[in-house]
Chain A
């Protein structure tokens, strides 16, 4: 049996269809204007939590990148300072060889000793280098300069703490170098480290005895060479860590691209698809409106006169 259809029924059905059509149109319009598929969690609960996770990940990656940049700046500062110290050491070695030569008289040796003292200060000055207002060679005591200039004290004022930068989840890279193992605590400690060596060289140059001259040619030179080796080790280590950070940068930017892509796939509207759907929906909506205008006003009334 066919259903009896009344004017109110068809008007209701028409109204409902037009409402549904307009609702779908509005949703698509919202997708198009916002560019995202998900405007609230119920649009796609799984997609929402995934998008939230990816957003968190992305903001983490951005932060890691900025940590890497900061660490790179720190390491570059260290490397420059260590390079300067290396130059100073080369010069000190030349002077040492020159001063150890029997042809050098005491006046010349005193002049060389003066220069060695200057070089010692230069080394300390380089060790006191700062990055963004922080002493890079003081361990974690970054607001204390590691060495005092002048001859008053050669004692290391920093600590042995390690400073790290996080460059990935649970991946930390130390960015400071232990200058103390190179420079030491000076003559008073007799630790054969650089400052001790330089002070001894200076003393031997000024001493003028045969023993002094022997020391200049023998132990002093050996000790300076040993210090140079330590310096080179530290520089190699800094270089290796700089490389590691450079690698991290390229890895992070790759991850950032991937995550951005994933996030976009998860939450962004597929424009081509959405526009097509929107156009189709618009046609359907217009048709519903036109049909509504035509059908609902017609009844037997129109044909009875």
Chain B
């Protein structure tokens, strides 16, 4: 036999459960725009039934009287498989973005096509030799040639310097991210902290949804930098392998291990290492520019036989240097004032190997930058697509929350009405029964 007040208890459970569900809806709405937040859902469960002796006279069996509802747990709605996909895409996006940025910088260093790039200055250099060939007696034409050649070599050196800087910046960025107070270290220590907090909560039988969201958001960020893989070591504590080494390990005292050397860096860090290396694009371009400078020096000096025009030792873009002066510029193979065969032969180098090497180099820079931009755009849209699917599962829909709000509000109202009905019944029982004869 159940108590007279049994129904009040059932209604109360209903009120409390609906209220909690409304609280959760409020939490979802409040976090509708929080990055990395997964929507939460109250898992409502009927409370254990109460065994009542019903029909026991016939077969001795009882019946189960429902005792109401309870919030069994608060669940985080999230698809771990989509997280894996998202992180894989983030890694290639990090790689492509770092490459595009660096190649863009390298491309800008060349400043082509323009009226001030190496190509335009080479043209002016050949023009100046033609002008000298037309007026070999004229010291003014020779002075203009020497000045023009110096401007050309300065530009070679400037482009070479900028390419070196591009590679150096990639190295600096790598060092800053992986340094003792860099992003990786910070995230690792935060992850270790979250691991401890989550583990402690889980041991106590709680589900720390928001902490898990924070941890997942950190792992998302980490996945841009290098290959990340995650293993649950028990009690929802995660071991995080990063770039081939174990970065976060709940079994160690500090919970993480950094700095260390990545064995298989992918993502942004892998790209940065590649961009900074001598075989990376910036330094490859620089050595190709060296070949252009070397070709210019040797081909001009081979014709300018009296004294070298360019310093024969300066055969890189960084060291190319004009040693000829207005007085030592050689115009002809004889000493005659009007002899111009040498000047003409040098002017005839126009459009030759030097120009072609340089044009080939610029075309290569353009092609590789374009390819990197395309790869970046592809990685971006793939990553966006996975993110959309993830958002579709985990994101907060205000329409849905509004529906839930209405649902739970009505549930609350109805539970309150049940309670009022119970109260009315008890009123009848307590205040109106047994009054016969009074």
Q: In residues 322-360 of chain B, which contact A (Cβ within 8 Å)?
A: 332, 334, 336-341, 344, 347-348, 350-351, 355, 358-360
What string of 1s and 0s marks CB contacts (under 8 Å) between B349-392 and chain A?
Answer: 01100010011101111110110010000000000100111011
Within 8 Å by CB of B32, from A8, A40, A41, lies A8
B403 beta carbon closer than 8 Å to chain A: yes
**Among A25-33, A118-126, A157-165, A241-249, the stretch in contact with B:** A157-165
A12 B391 Cβ-Cβ under 8 A: yes
A300 beta carbon closer than 8 Å to chain B: yes
Within 8 Å by CB of B355, from A5, A40, A56, A172, lies A56
Rounded to whole Å, the gap between the CB of A252 and the closest CB of chain B is 14
> Given contacts A63-B127, A161-B339, A301-B402, are A49 and B359 in contact (CB under 8 A)?
yes
Most buried by B among A9, A134, A140, A300: A140
A7 B32 Cβ-Cβ under 8 A: yes
* Alpha-carbon distance between A166 and B369 when the two chains are bound, in angstroms: 39
- The residue in chain A whose Cβ has the minimal distance to the Cβ of B350 is A60
Rounded to whole Å, the gap between the CB of A100 and the closest CB of chain B is 41
> Given contacts A63-B126, A140-B337, A140-B338, are A7 and B388 in contact (CB under 8 A)?
no
B338 A134 Cβ-Cβ under 8 A: yes
* Alpha-carbon distance between A57 and B108 when the two chains are bound, in angstroms: 24
A209 beta carbon closer than 8 Å to chain B: no
> Given contacts A4-B393, A140-B338, are A45 and B370 in contact (CB under 8 A)?
yes
- The residue in chain A whose Cβ has the minimal distance to the Cβ of B104 is A42
Within 8 Å by CB of A139, from B338, B341, B392, B396, lies B338
Rounded to whole Å, the gap between the CB of A179 and the closest CB of chain B is 14
> Given contacts A70-B134, A164-B340, are A38 and B32 in contact (CB under 8 A)?
no
* Alpha-carbon distance between A233 and B388 when the two chains are bound, in angstroms: 88
Q: Count B interface residues, CB 8 Å.
A: 64
* Alpha-carbon distance between A210 and B404 when the two chains are bound, in angstroms: 142
Q: Count A interface residues, CB 8 Å.
A: 56
Tell me the dominant secondary structure on chain B's binding face: helix
- The residue in chain B whose Cβ has the minimal distance to the Cβ of A304 is B402
* Alpha-carbon distance between A48 and B117 when the two chains are bound, in angstroms: 13
- The residue in chain A whose Cβ has the minimal distance to the Cβ of B394 is A6
* Alpha-carbon distance between A132 and B338 when the two chains are bound, in angstroms: 12
* Alpha-carbon distance between A103 and B438 when the two chains are bound, in angstroms: 190
> Given contacts A4-B397, A6-B392, A9-B388, are A140 and B336 in contact (CB under 8 A)?
yes
A169 B348 Cβ-Cβ under 8 A: yes
B272 beta carbon closer than 8 Å to chain A: no
Chain A residues in 8 Å Cβ range of B397 = 4-7
Chain B residues in 8 Å Cβ range of A163 = 338-340
Within 8 Å by CB of B120, from A9, A41, A55, A159, lies A55
Q: In residues 128-148 of chain B, which contact A (Cβ within 8 Å)?
A: 130, 133-137
B135 A49 Cβ-Cβ under 8 A: no
Chain A residues in 8 Å Cβ range of B347 = 63, 166
Chain B residues in 8 Å Cβ range of A132 = 135
Within 8 Å by CB of A300, from B110, B393, B402, lies B402
Q: Can you list 9 contacts pairing A with B, beta carbon distance less than 8 Å?
A: A4-B397, A12-B384, A41-B362, A42-B104, A44-B366, A141-B336, A142-B338, A161-B332, A165-B133
**A residues lining the B interface (CB < 8 Å):** 3-9, 12-13, 16, 38, 40-46, 48-49, 51-53, 55-57, 59-60, 63, 66-67, 70, 132-134, 138-144, 159, 161, 163-166, 169-170, 172, 267, 299-301, 304
